[in-house]
Amino acid sequence: MIPAAKIRYVVATHGRPLRTLGVVLLVVGVVGVAATLMYPPTTTVTEVTDSATVETGTTMRAPVEGEHAMYDDGEVLTDEPVYIRAVAPNLSVTASTRSPPDGVDIEQRLSIVYEASSSADGVFRERRDVLRTTTDRVEQEGQAVNTTVSIEIAEIARTLNTMRDEIGDAGGITAYLHVETVYDGPEYEGTLENRAPLSVSEDAYRLPTTDLRQDHPTTTSVTQPDPRQVFEVPLPELGSVVVPHWTPLFGVLAVLGGLAIGAARYGREFSVTRERATVHRLRYAEWISTGELPATLAAHPFVVPMASLQALVDVAIDSETRVVHDASQDCYAVLTAGALYVFVPDAGSEVDDPAPADA
């Protein structure tokens, strides 16, 4: 009961400051909610709007020469993991490059590269034999730039043996098929290249295929709400609404402001004196008894009006008696041998009486 009475007392005595505070909180809250919803925190991200892809791949074809137990004469072996030298002694390699039809200039080169290397020195000598170079411009959909070379495996084997005899125990010799594509488009350029090891033994040879790809994305900068500082609220009619993290706080301020204004308006109905007396009555309940006072109370020859209920309780304590509260007359009284001390809330003035503290 005491907390509720104190709240009514505070509302009754501080209506104007409470109303001013409520207006400030309401304005700040409403403006804050509107501003944060209209101008949420943003961040700039890069989005890919388009992409141009340049691809280079190789295809291996080795025709079978003569009749063999496992191969037919004239059969073409394509992209095999291993080729038998006696069956297919020559290898045809086709490098094919595709790009968007944007007028891309392409230069494609196939070479055989020989490297002399050792574990201690790394690559210490290199020789490059360019087999063929092709240049063209891609201007039509589906157009490809093709470069085809024929490799005599026997010639490669002789070159490897000659080089190995030449360097002796200084290291080893490795052969590679080097594929290089240089392209230059209206908005992008670059180079695709790869070295595929060409392994030649006495009876077989191996050359893996090459698949190269380079994407050139077209990007644009987009400003969007910062996901670290906002969250989305799904609404039935509006869909998903972006809400900054600060918006609920401003909403709470607006609600508190509305409550403060409502409390100040409601507090006009409270009597400051009556509410203070109620607080004192609850606080000093052990010194106050409920009873009925005579209607002729004012006829007592020695009536002493008291300014506050607290002062009246002090008289009761000093007189070692009790305060009588007549709810029907809304009157408090203390009867002593010499006088009748009376306090009527609506008649008393407690302007100078400070707000009661906790008991």
Report pLDDT for 285.
80
Q: Are residues 66 and 149 in the same domain?
A: yes
H or E segment and range at residue 154: helix 153-167
Q: Are residues 357 and 326 in the same domain?
A: yes
Q: Are residues 87 and 213 in the same domain?
A: yes
Structural domain range at position 309: 271-359
Q: Are residues 173 and 65 in the same domain?
A: yes
Report pLDDT for 261.
83
Domain stops at, among 240, 270, 300: 270
Report pLDDT for 1.
47
Which residues, at least 6 apart from 39, have a Cβ–Cβ distance to it below 8 Å? none
Q: Are residues 335 and 298 in the same domain?
A: yes
Torsion angle in degrees (nearest 10) through CA of 118, 121, 125, 126: 70
Task: Kindly state whether residue 45 falls inside one of the protein's structural domains.
Answer: no
Task: Kindly state whether residue 14 falls inside one of the protein's structural domains.
Answer: yes
The C-alpha atoms of residue 187 and residue 104 are separated, in whole angstroms, by 9
Q: Are residues 88 and 70 in the same domain?
A: yes
Report pLDDT for 273.
63
Q: Which residues of the chain fall below pLDDT 50? A: 1, 348-359
Query: Which burial class, exposed, middle or buried, applies to 320 when counting CB atoms under 10 A from its CB (0-12, 13-18, 19+)?
Result: exposed
The C-alpha atoms of residue 110 and residue 115 are separated, in whole angstroms, by 16
- pTM for the whole structure: 0.57
Instruction: Give the number of other Cβ atoms within 10 Å of residue 217's Cβ.
Output: 13
Report pLDDT for 72.
94
Within its chain, how far is the Cα of 53 from the centroid?
Answer: 31
Q: Are residues 3 and 59 in the same domain?
A: no
Task: Kindly state whether residue 226 falls inside one of the protein's structural domains.
Answer: no
SS3 311: helix
Total domains, the chain: 3
